[in-house]
Structure 1
Amino acid sequence: MSVARPLELELALPVDPPAEDRRLFYDFSGRVVTEVLRDALPQVISVDLASSDRRVSVALDGPHGPYALSFERRRVSASNPHQLLVLMVFTSVLMTGIAMIFLRNQLRPIRRLAYAAEEYGKGGSCLSPVRCGRAAQRGHRVPGHAQPAGAPERPAQADDVWNQPRPAHAADADEARAVDDRARHAA
């Protein structure tokens, strides 16, 4: 008795122990508590976790007959195991957000490269959709792009890209595209 009080244990002598272990059906940690107590103490007759949510009552077989040892549940299991689930969900949402930011930053150069490859295949020399789009909005001629409607004509300069002849493959590609467009509209 003198040892049980400092350890915050309640000791009851004699006791009529239940025949089997008791726990609530949703108490998953209770199953582990029962197994650990049975493995650590061979004198365990039964473990009662159902009569009180906050206390564990263990019936033991002693030299003077069965006795019950009762202590707080927080000493053998987590008091709020749902915090693990909340932490897991929060961490997964945070990591998904970071991954989306990284993927978006990786997709931008790939899109620009795809646009540049498409323009190069069409015979154009504009490598950036942003720069080409801004130049066309200001009314400037952009190499490889059609002149915007209503844009003023610039005087020809010696080093102007527009004064240089287009490569043959660009003209062939334009002709093939025009034939494809006419065939599509005819169908």
Structure 2
Amino acid sequence: MRQNSVLLVALLLLALGAGCTSTPENVTPAPVLHYEQGDTSIPINVSEIPVRRFDVNATEVIGIVLADQRAGILLEGGWKIASIRAGFEEEDPNREHIDVEFRNDELSLSFFIEVDERERQTGRGRCSATIWMGHPWTSEPFPEEEDYYQTGDPHRDQLYVLDHHNERLVMVYNETTIFYLYPSYGDVTKWMGD
């Protein structure tokens, strides 16, 4: 009789457990946002984007960044949203913001756009390429260990991201605007003078 009781309890537990493994019908599907411009529509599956900050509403942050022209330029250029993470202001370490990382795996480059979730607006943008303080037209050595580097022009509010191996222009940008973006590369002298 004792064996039957143990068997009966085990069967009851299995039967009850089977009901716990079924998927509830009220599950909200993962949000998919769309970047849309003219005939272009690029789906963004928010649940596939790693969030490296627990207190961020990823759907809201992506919605804010998709309204920024730079995000459209990057997405149309084949870049993907790779992560959402905390960022810190260099001038004021107490000012925290959110960085949305756009990644181009072909180039092994990232571009970050700051998002202020409280103000519901985007801020500065920056590229992950190493900053080189020299200039391509000088005899200063290039950063040999890097595939890409960026340099600026003291007379213009622009940074230039260059392909070290091909000496081709990849991107021209400042804190708020992307002026030029790969894939067609470009002529470095058009942006940097002769």
TM value normalised by structure 2: 0.24
Q: Which has the higher contact order (CA 8 A, sep 6+)?
A: 1
Higher CA-based Rg: 1
Query: Which structure features the higher share of strand residues?
Result: 2
TM value normalised by structure 1: 0.25
